[in-house]
């Protein structure tokens, strides 16, 4: 009888040990994936002003400094060599509004270099816990660009947001084919030009792409999908949700 009890106890202890070991192995397997992003330290900062959609000035470690948002590029508004590009003002306004209305600003550097050749900091910037880099891409006011490892921890997150903005034809994607973002490197050789047809070409066969409007009953419903509201160019924009008539519906006010 004693031997039977001993065998049962030994079996139970062994079974519990195997289950515990299995759970521990599972946790250890998944933890490096989580740590890949959480290992990047966030540091406090204060918003000073917006420079462009992808550039801001912050108070960092007691000094004013310019920050270039990592992995993105928005239409230009400040480059003296270029005219103001379409959706540039909207991109600049989006970033400024998101950060100016936030109570908590943080910056997060990636694993590579921290500054560019102009002396600007390269970082992910957060407004009340939301990554501004990702938010502006999701709104279709910036695209994924300047991907230089190892400063690319969040590139897949940004690409996912860009794909959604493209699918919804938001802002910079509203009149531009997504194929145009990839430049072809194939050069065509000299080929005889086709002769012009004797009859006029019917140009009425071109299809017109339309953006499907999105309807939200109120700002509470809209913010579940777009936490920072939407611009007047967004298919979800409605004048009735733009109380201050500034071209931005359901913005977060502090």
d(C-alpha 190, C-alpha 194), whole Å: 12
117, pLDDT greater than 80: yes
pTM above the 0.85 mark?
no
Sign of the Cα pseudo-torsion (208, 143, 164, 86, in order): negative
Q: What average pLDDT does range 35-41 have in this prediction?
A: 70
Range in 79-88, 127-136, 232-241 the model is least confident about = 232-241
The mean-pLDDT minimum among 19-28, 77-86, 94-103 falls in 19-28
Q: How confident is the model at residue 157 (pLDDT cuts 50, 70, 90)?
A: very high
Whether residue 26 is predicted with pLDDT greater than 50 in this model: the reply is: no
Give the model's pLDDT for residue 35: 45
Q: Is 68 part of the annotated catalytic residue set?
A: yes
Please identify which of the residues 97, 120, 138, 238 carries the catalytic annotation: 120
The pLDDT value recorded for residue 6 is 56
Q: Which of 76, 90, 168, 251 is catalytic?
A: 76
Question: 55-59, 165-169, 209-213 — which is least confidently predicted?
Answer: 209-213
Going by pLDDT thresholds of 50, 70 and 90, the confidence category of residue 39 is confident
pLDDT given for residue 218 in this prediction: 86
User: If DSSP codes are grouped into helix, strand and coil, which group holds residue 57?
Assistant: strand
Between 29 and 165, the more confident residue is 165
Spatial separation of the C-alpha atoms in residues 231 and 224, rounded to whole Å: 16
With a CB cutoff of 8 Å and minimum separation 6, the contacts of 211 are 168, 169, 174, 235
Q: Which domains does the chain have, with CATH numbers?
A: 42-154 (2.40.50.90)
H-run or E-run covering 209: none
Residue 206 has pLDDT above 80, yes or no: no
Shortest CA distance to 101 belongs to which of 54, 47, 24, 159? 47
Q: Does the pLDDT at position 196 exceed 80?
A: no
At 185, the pLDDT band (50, 70, 90 cuts) reads very low
**Nearest CA to 131 among 153, 112, 164, 163?**
153
pLDDT tens-digit map of 122-151: 999 999 999 999 999 999 999 999 999 999
Cα–Cα distance between 235 and 87 in angstroms, integer?
15
Task: Determine the Cα–Cα distance for residues 153 and 155; give it in Å rounded to an integer.
Answer: 6
């Amino acid at each position: 009888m004693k031997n039977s009890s001993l065998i049962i106890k030994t079996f139970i202890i062994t079974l519990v040990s195997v289950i515990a070991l299995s759970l521990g192995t599972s946790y250890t397997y998944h933890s490096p994936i989580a740590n890949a992003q959480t290992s990047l330290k966030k540091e406090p900062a204060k918003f000073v002003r917006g420079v462009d959609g992808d550039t801001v000035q912050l108070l960092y470690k007691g000094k004013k400094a310019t920050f270039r948002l990592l992995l993105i590029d928005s239409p230009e508004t400040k480059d003296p060599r270029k005219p103001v590009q379409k959706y540039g003002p909207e991109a600049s306004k989006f970033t400024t509004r998101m950060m100016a209305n936030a109570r908590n600003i943080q910056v997060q550097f990636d694993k590579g270099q921290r500054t560019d050749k102009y002396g600007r900091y390269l970082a992910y910037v957060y407004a009340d816990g939301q990554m501004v880099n990702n938010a502006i891409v999701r709104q279709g006011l910036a695209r994924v660009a300047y991907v230089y490892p190892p400063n690319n921890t969040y590139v897949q997150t940004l690409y996912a947001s860009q794909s959604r903005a493209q699918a919804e034809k938001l802002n910079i994607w509203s009149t531009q084919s997504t194929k145009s973002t990839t430049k072809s490197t194939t050069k065509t050789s000299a080929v005889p030009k086709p002769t012009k047809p004797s009859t006029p070409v019917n140009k009425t066969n071109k299809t017109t792409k339309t953006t499907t409007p999105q309807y939200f009953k109120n700002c509470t419903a809209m913010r579940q999908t777009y936490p920072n509201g939407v611009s007047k160019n967004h298919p979800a924009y409605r004048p009735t949700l733009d109380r201050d008539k500034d071209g931005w519906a359901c913005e977060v006010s502090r």
